[in-house]
Structure 1
Amino acid sequence: MLKVQVLGLPAQDNALWVVADTGQGQTRLLLDCGAGTLDTLPFAEVRAVDHVLFSHLHMDHVAGFDDLFRATFDLPGRVNHVWGPPGTARILSHRFRGYWWNHAPELSGTWHVHDVDGQAIRSLRFELHEAFEVAHEEGTRPVDGPLFTTPEVSVEAVPLRHQGVCLGYVVREPERVSVDPAALQALGLKGGPWLAALKAGATETLDVPGTPHDADELRTRLLRRQPGESLAYLTDFRLDEEEQARLAPLLAGVGTLYAEAQYLPEDADLARRNDHTTAAQVAALARAAGVGQLCLLHLSRRYRAERWPEFLAAARAVFPATHFPAGWPDEGVG
């Protein structure tokens, strides 16, 4: 299950908090970290974040990093990972070193920062006991699949255009494999450890129990597969017909698209000049990609609160399954 929370308020800095939970384990993701976005999260949750993923390093997407860093800089035994476009390691190195680390030799904390340009990932390591003074090169690898995969989730990067490289992200749960109880009963079999072995990919012959059975035949008759949940996060990007044609296949079938809606359609020229989108444009992308639903965020401060419902109306005219994050006013203000 993907538990998702949009952080921040309309026309203020936003971020996305995602917990991928299988029941056996969790992976916590923070996508962007604007000013004040962590205020509603429990401190223990902030300290448990596994990966921070920046779309880009404009102030409204990184201004809350110091709050995160203060909570997580010195967690012994934990490894911190930060992902972002080219320049992320350079910018964060200044944030790391922007304090008086007179106790650093007594402390422990490791930070891995990964610069992603869409074709390659350059990784660097920073150590707290060195007061973060040294950027240790950890090599470069091609982007030929997900940025990373855990037992609970995989994350892919989607390069976007926003006055340079900006990154969108697609988060996917692994395929779900379940046992069909009716098929199990029809075969006259009882559950047991052999089912776990079958789901784990056992081959040849299984002992069920005391009777040998062909594993491939059991797998065909008993196991049912379905895709896990998925989401995409796209913010601060220019969206024209060419970009829509490129992005739609990359988002095909995603469960929920969380996307910026900086401008109303009447300000499409302004959106184009600033490399942003309108609510109608991002709704057209959601329709072309065939996503399950669209959640609008990152509204421009230029609009008064009473105009926020116009964003929903403009998007729903193109893609009806559009909504605001929980807690945002859907119909009116006041």
Structure 2
Amino acid sequence: MSISFRILGKAGGDNALLVQIDSGQTIERLLFDCGEGCLSDVPFADVQAIDHLFFSHLHMDHVSGFDSFFRCTFNRPTKPNRIWGPPETARILQHRFQGFLWNLHEELSASWLVSDIHPGEIRTTGFEAREAFAISHDRGTQPYDRIILEGAGYSMEAITMDHRTPTLAYVVREKPRRNIDTSRLASLGLRPGAWLKELKDSANSSDSVVVDGVARSKEELRKELLVETPGDSIAYLTDFVLDEPAIERLTDALRGCRVMVCEGQYRHSDLDLARKHFHMTTVLSATVAKRARVEELILFHVSCRYESSEWVEMLREASQVFPNVHYPPEWNLKL
């Protein structure tokens, strides 16, 4: 399995994150936020292939590009149409759905599910294209404790933060990988074969597996041969205040995360301004990365109030706290 990703949008403009998770058997594509122009360089077919859209919150710089996404997918019947976000997401998105003239809608077939993520509870609303998205259908509620979605080989976590409105931080984690210790296999004198796949398949309920014509205990072989390693992981953090309690909460939530994609909205000299607008500085972003011991920090969503030379200086300030920090490579902003 592997996680690949791409930061969408330009420095000083709207940004988003596109993540691809390859399980070896399926590929799932996740889009985080959808600001203006963020999908302009993404091929139409790739937009149509997006499985889930996750909003941090619904301020216009994070949702103004939604029409481009919706134009590609409004009547997509080939896979579920799923949108996630903080409270009020379904109400706001219904206005976006209905912001067009629907006079041929009776023959449309797509269904949409929009999930409002409240602390401890997810409330899902359904919309039908054939109804011109005019009716909100209650699709029920479900409790959750950080994990909101179990995908094909990965889980999605959501943490509610404060942007003077609820905003969501997301963490994507691949499930642990189970690999065969080939040196141990050789030392036991066992030959590789199809039985190894069966051994790794926890869904198979049989207690034994046939190896070279001999039935052997799966439990014993797993203890001898299987090595479990953590999967890959990536976090998406933007638009919330980073005071000490927030840093402590995120430190716990991000533990073991490999890549942290985080806003770098303000210079640290503008800390008071950042707190006034419930944003963070690059130094505070770096502080979270350091405390959570992530491997890599990528800063994005920088303010257009600064010149490009100041963006570089903001990166320098962050690097003094957390050295492995950079902007998206496409921005060409380096120390």
TM over 0.5: yes
Q: How does 1:180-191 map to 2 (within 5 A)?
A: 180-191=181-192
**Structure 1 residue 152: Cα displacement:** 3.1
Structure 2 residue matching 1:86: 3-state secondary structure: coil
Q: 1:223 aligns with which of 213, 226, 232?
A: 226
1:46 equivalenced with 2:44 (yes/no): no
Residue among 255, 272, 278 paired with 1:275:
278
* Contact 1:27 1:153 survives alignment (8 Å): no
Partner Cα distance (1:152, 1:100) in 2: 39
Structure 1 residue 283, shift from structure 2 partner:
0.5
Aligned-pair CA distance for 1:177: 1.1
Q: Deviations over 1:54-87 (max 9, x none)?
A: 0000000000000000000011232100000000
Give the stretch that moved more between structures: 184-193 or 126-135: 184-193
Distance 1:61 1:179, change over 3 A: same
C-alpha deviation, 1:145, in angstroms: 4.4
Map residues 59-78 of structure 1 onto 2, 5 A cutoff: 59-78=60-79
Quick check: 1:233–1:258 contact (8 Å CA) kept in 2?
yes
Q: What does residue range 1-334 of structure 1 map to in structure 2 within 5 Å? A: 1-201=2-202, 204-331=207-334
3-state SS of 1:18 partner: strand
Number of aligned residues: 332
Alpha-carbon contact 2:56-2:168 (below 8 Å) kept: yes
Greater Cα offset, 82-91 or 179-188: 179-188
What is the Cα deviation at residue 301 of structure 1?
A: 1.0
Equivalent residues of 1:26, 1:152 under 8 A apart? no
Q: 1:329: Cα distance to partner?
A: 2.2
Cα distance in 1, alignment partners of residues 152 and 57 from structure 2: 27
Worse overlay, 279-288 or 73-82 = 73-82
- Indicate the SS of the match to 1:147: strand
Distance 1:216 1:266 in 2: 58
% identity of equivalent residues: 45
Contact map agreement 2:286 2:319 (CA 8 A) in 1: yes
Ranges of 4+ aligned residues in structure 1 off by more than 4 Å: none
- Consecutive unaligned residues of structure 2, counting only runs of 5 or more, are none
**Is contact 1:260–1:296 with CA below 8 Å preserved after alignment?**
yes
Q: State TM-score, norm by structure 1.
A: 0.97
Structure 1: runs of 5 or more not aligned: none
TM-score, scaled relative to structure 2 = 0.97
Q: Deviations over 1:23-67 (max 9, x none)?
A: 211110000000000011111110000000000000000000000
Q: Structure 1 counterpart of 2:67, which letter?
A: D
Please state how far the C-alpha of 1:330 moved relative to its aligned partner: 3.0
RMSD: 1.1
Alignment-mate amino acid for residue 144 of structure 2? V
